[in-house]
Amino acid sequence: MPKYVFITGGVVSSVGKGIAAASLGLLLEARGLKVAMMKLDPYINVDPGTMNPFEHGEVFVTDDGAETDLDLGHYQRFTHAKISQKSNATTGGIYHTVIEKERRGEYLGKTVQVIPHITDEIKRRIRMLTAEPEDDADVALIEVGGTVGDIEGLPFLEAIRQFNLDLYPQPCCNIHVTLVPFIEAAGELKTKPTQHSVRALRDIGIQPQVIICRTGTHELGPDQRRKIAMFCNVTEEAIIGAPDVSPVYAIPLNLKKQGYDDIVLHTLGMTAPEADMKAWGAFVDKIRHPAHEVRIAAVGKYVEHEDAYKSINEAFVHAGVANDCKVRLEWVDSEVFENGTLPKDKLAPFDGVVIGPGFGSRGIEGKIRAVNYVRTSRKPFFGICLGMQIAVIEMSRNCLGLPRANSTEFDTDTPDPVICLLSEQRGVRELGGTMRLGAYRCNLREGTKAREAYGSESIDERHRHRYEFNAAYQQRLEKEAGLVVSGVHPKSDHELVEIIELRDHPWFCASQFHPEFTSMPLRPQPLFRAFVKAALEFRKSRVPGEATAVPIA
The whole-number pLDDT of residue 300 equals 84
Name the residue among 478, 457, 442, 461 with its Cα closest to residue 516: 461
**List 158, 409, 501, 516, catalytic entry:** 516
The whole-number pLDDT of residue 548 equals 40
Element (H, E) at 535: helix 526-542
Residue 333: is its pLDDT beyond 80? Answer: yes
Residue 551: is its pLDDT beyond 60? Answer: no
| Global pTM value | 0.93
- Per-residue pLDDT, averaged over 305-309, amounts to 75
The whole-number pLDDT of residue 552 equals 34
Residue 479: is its pLDDT beyond 90? Answer: yes
Look up the CATH number of domain 289-542: 3.40.50.880
Own/partner pairs, 192-199, CB within 8 angstroms, 24+ separation: 193/10, 193/11, 194/10, 194/11, 194/228, 194/232, 195/227, 195/228, 195/231, 195/232, 197/10, 197/11, 197/147, 197/148, 197/149, 198/10, 198/231, 198/232, 198/234
Which are the contacts of 1, defined by CB distance < 8 A and separation ≥ 6?
130, 170
Given pLDDT bands bounded at 50, 70 and 90, which one contains residue 547?
very low
pLDDT tens track for 97-113: 999 999 999 999 899 99
Given pLDDT bands bounded at 50, 70 and 90, which one contains residue 14?
confident
pLDDT tens track for 119-168: 999 999 999 999 988 888 999 999 999 999 999 999 999 999 999 999 99
pLDDT tens track for 488-520: 998 767 789 999 999 999 999 999 999 999 999
Every domain of the chain and the residues it spans: 3-281, 289-542
Residue 171: is its pLDDT beyond 70? Answer: yes
The whole-number pLDDT of residue 495 equals 85
pLDDT tens track for 410-463: 999 999 999 998 876 666 666 566 788 999 999 999 999 999 999 999 999 999
Do 405 and 365 meet the contact criterion of CB atoms below 8 Å apart? no
Q: Which of 192-196, 298-302, 314-318 has the lowest mean pLDDT?
A: 298-302
Determine whether 516 is an active site residue: yes
The whole-number pLDDT of residue 50 equals 77
Rounded to a whole number of angstroms, the CA Rg of the chain reads 25
Given pLDDT bands bounded at 50, 70 and 90, which one contains residue 309?
confident
Distance, in Å, from the CA atom of 281 to the CA atom of 548, rounded to the nearest integer, reads 24
The whole-number pLDDT of residue 303 equals 64
Percent of the chain's residues with pLDDT above 90: 83
Edge-to-edge strand list for the sheet holding 417-421: 406-407, 417-421, 467-469
Do 488 and 500 meet the contact criterion of CB atoms below 8 Å apart? no
What's the fold here for domain 3-281? Rossmann fold (3.40.50)
- Per-residue pLDDT, averaged over 70-86, amounts to 95
Residue 87: is its pLDDT beyond 60? Answer: yes
The whole-number pLDDT of residue 340 equals 84
Question: Is 360 buried (19+), middle (13-18) or exposed (0-12) by CB count in 10 A?
Answer: exposed
Given pLDDT bands bounded at 50, 70 and 90, which one contains residue 546?
low
Distance, in Å, from the CA atom of 486 to the CA atom of 180, rounded to the nearest integer, reads 52
- Per-residue pLDDT, averaged over 72-81, amounts to 96
The whole-number pLDDT of residue 362 equals 83
| CATH fold match for the domains 3-281 and 289-542 | yes
Residue 361: is its pLDDT beyond 80? Answer: no
Determine whether 385 is an active site residue: yes
pLDDT tens track for 229-269: 999 999 999 999 999 999 999 999 999 999 999 999 999 99
Edge-to-edge strand list for the sheet holding 3-10: 88-90, 35-41, 139-144, 3-10, 173-179, 210-214, 239-242
**List 213, 385, 442, 509, catalytic entry:** 385
Name the residue among 405, 370, 364 with its Cα closest to residue 386: 364
The whole-number pLDDT of residue 274 equals 95
- Per-residue pLDDT, averaged over 299-305, amounts to 72
The whole-number pLDDT of residue 431 equals 59
**List 176, 394, 514, 546, catalytic entry:** 514
